[in-house]
Structure 1
């Protein structure tokens, strides 16, 4: 998370105690105070019905007739229709700061988002320059002026260790390129560009894939997920103590950024209500996925099942994808599935991903197929082979691209009941099931899914596909970002339609 150059104000004690408190006790009490201070509104947000949010109450007919200053829109711009042209009104020169760029390795979610978005913007006719760390694949050229096809971004790899982000080196490259011809817009993916460099840039937009206050929520849910006989992790104590100062620093310096892009409706609300960012500087634009990479293909799914060994008499096939780590909810899924198969022995689980929980899933035997990390082309077959996609994440921040990929592939969802997911993804009961982030709730939802069966789930998947095609395509995302960047360059484009 970002490190502020500002120093928190010192607190003065106005009361005297008969016995002096030790520094450790004072620090503990101070930390506990702030944890309580922030946890109460966080838990309140978690239990606030998302139906009260403008993002879910605004019907499609209302968005079609909505007009006004886009900077004042509190709902996701993806709900609006932006005219598609063969060429943009004028070509923008866009600078992008991204910690990594997906070349030579299986990319993470943020890298895939950055690649999808900025490749799409380049295809729309804009000149996109990406400043990023050297690729981890040593066979890839690291020329600072590497250029792809005319419809591809210009990639500037800074010098240094592969995969290690050094913003100062990237900034030097940016300054040099900006001197040749000034950039119209600068886009920072999360905190790739530190605020003390970016705070005076009036043409900056920063996209938030997670903020410190949401990290506090994640730490709480991860600790609640541990078993009764499992000791509290030392990392939990350290993270709780460290996250409160980060939240305070973020609230202080976030106001210095010119424009904020929230990737979920709940994040947008948090930036406006808790971080106190003025409405006209917070814009909600949901992530999108390549519609060519993720689509329905029944025959591809059947072939994939045969290839990996799913028997024809399997009653149901569950799927989960992503990093196999604790904060993605795998302790919950592992335990809930182990209980489920004692009653339903013909329910199979496909695991696409790698990480510490990989071997634990392998211990289930033939009912669980662990496939490791997969490329987008392989993921297409994975999604088409399952009956329902499970996302047991314990991270309220951001939105996993896997949710959107599954929906684009025509699959319903079984997901954690977090505001970001409920308010943006599973906005209708027809799209799947939601559960509280604990084993009992997940098991109850899994049993409901099994009883419902694959035929009913397939109908839900059709509804998911229709919704995703309207909201989560790369084209829709790119057009929304294009309009924002045009608005930053020329206020005329802030007026909709």
Structure 2
């Protein structure tokens, strides 16, 4: 559900490499590429194949829970998610802030992407707490762009082509507003502000929703998911040749940003270990979702099932949501589910989202309902209508909002065994199931889900809701970001509790 972080990064790389001439392929280049693939992928495979048992998960959960309850000190030294900590929930903040936010898009549309939804949820919550939040973003349409609000968050649509981001135009608006009253902190959603601008801003924090290393790993897993009779895509080799220089460029320019927010524990480790960002400049704050929007509503789920035509004798209802593209793992789910229903014809699959795999799902028969893109309000009904949420992503560092929305709605997860998901969401076996990113492993996990049945899955869902409510609410996320922004403004706020 994220907006394309890869396109943002490619835009940034284009700026970095504009004057360079492309090199012709060579054996040396091939072996260099192969070296980096091995270097960056071995740790991932190790994590993927690490056995996960209930005792290990329980020990990890109890340890981190105990650690967060007893931890104190400088927040910039904390290498675990700030979501685990308790911050002041007073209606008014400890100190009101003036916050500048640079984001390529703001969710005016009814079906916004994940990054847009994150920006909207976070900064709306901060504005409601009394902070002066100014959003600098691309123009949407004539009617929207010309609208001036008298409340926060205040949206500044820069001039230009609708939907096209121009950071220099946004900077002009920022500088004009900064003259009236200086901003306390600046927040960039990924590379909304390029590094050569960010390096001069000591009060800037950047939230990373995707990195080039993830693209490299994702490409590897996509090719591993390819059927034996399916030829290698010509674009695959081309993409491998291009992504390694992007990773190297990122390692070099990421250090230009004063503060980094990682949206998962594993991404925080990646920034510290591979990207060589000093630990005190990396802060893990997991995304949160609107707790009022996503909640348990059994009756709403029943109504939705009836509305879309799920029969009452359905033995189980699976759900998947997001962009229906290859890197989200839809080739795996399509193949595994097509095999599953030969043995379990009453297991239904609801698909929420749009993309090239939508038509392919429709070809599987009446047990699959492809509903297209949904607004957040429609998604609430979708989550309540399913028994378990499936996320077969092939992006190892990603942490889709849909996973947290499903948990907040009281649904267990069936998700790829990646460090980001295993270390942040599925930290206890009670919360669901994991599988290695291949058809056989997914099919085996689906059989376990069928064996569990709706009643047992509902029990798991209640545990998911309880955990999510303690970690992934919009309020929890907003309070963590608020404390970070206060810490950036004045170091005395960095001391916890």
TM-score, shorter chain, exceeding 0.5: yes
In the alignment, what sits opposite 2:460? 460
Report deviation, 1:160: 1.5
Contact 2:294 2:380 in 1 (8 A): yes
Q: SS in structure 2 opposite 1:169?
A: helix
Contact 1:55 1:423 in 2 (8 A): no
**What is the TM-score when the length of structure 1 is the normalising length?**
0.93
Contact 1:54 1:75 in 2 (8 A): no
Q: Partners in 2 of 1:342 and 1:159 — Cα distance?
A: 55
Report deviation, 1:27: 2.8
**What is the TM-score when the length of structure 2 is the normalising length?**
0.93
Contact 2:214 2:397 in 1 (8 A): yes
Q: Partners in 1 of 2:289 and 2:233 — Cα distance?
A: 36
Q: SS in structure 1 opposite 2:66?
A: helix
Is 1:3 the counterpart of 2:13 in the alignment? yes
Q: Partners in 2 of 1:159 and 1:397 — Cα distance?
A: 34
Contact 2:261 2:284 in 1 (8 A): yes
Report deviation, 1:30: 3.0
Report deviation, 1:361: 0.9
Q: Partners in 1 of 2:46 and 2:244 — Cα distance?
A: 18
Q: Partners in 2 of 1:140 and 1:227 — Cα distance?
A: 48
In the alignment, what sits opposite 1:19? none
Report deviation, 1:106: 1.1
Contact 2:57 2:429 in 1 (8 A): no
Contact 1:56 1:423 in 2 (8 A): no
Q: Partners in 2 of 1:5 and 1:140 — Cα distance?
A: 32
Contact 1:55 1:75 in 2 (8 A): no
Contact 1:304 1:381 in 2 (8 A): yes
Report deviation, 1:182: 1.2
Runs of at least 5 residues in structure 2 that lack an aligned partner in the other structure: 1-8
Q: Which stretch shows the higher mean deviation, 296-305 or 22-31?
A: 22-31
Structure 1 residues 400 and 370: CA distance shift in structure 2, 3 A = same
Q: SS in structure 1 opposite 2:205?
A: strand
Task: Specify which of 24, 37, 40 is matched with residue 39 of structure 2.
Answer: 37
Is 1:74 the counterpart of 2:84 in the alignment? no
Report deviation, 1:57: 6.4
Q: SS in structure 2 opposite 1:237?
A: helix
Report deviation, 1:310: 0.5
Report deviation, 1:55: 7.8
In the alignment, what sits opposite 1:206? 206
In the alignment, what sits opposite 2:423? 423
Aligned residues: 480
Task: Specify which of 27, 30, 37 is matched with residue 28 of structure 1.
Answer: 30
Task: Specify which of 104, 112, 115 is matched with residue 107 of structure 1.
Answer: 112
Contact 1:104 1:140 in 2 (8 A): no
Contact 2:110 2:375 in 1 (8 A): no
Contact 1:285 1:477 in 2 (8 A): yes
Structure 1 residues 128 and 316: CA distance shift in structure 2, 3 A = same
In the alignment, what sits opposite 2:441? 441
Report deviation, 1:46: 4.3
In the alignment, what sits opposite 1:325? 325
Q: Partners in 1 of 2:477 and 2:374 — Cα distance?
A: 24
Aligned CA RMSD, in angstroms, stands at 2.1
| Structure holding more helix per residue | 2
Task: Specify which of 120, 142, 145 is matched with residue 142 of structure 1.
Answer: 145
In the alignment, what sits opposite 2:387? 387
Is 1:128 the counterpart of 2:133 in the alignment? yes
Report deviation, 1:54: 11
Q: Partners in 1 of 2:376 and 2:430 — Cα distance?
A: 26
Map 1:54-93 to 2 at 5 A.
Answer: 58-93=63-98
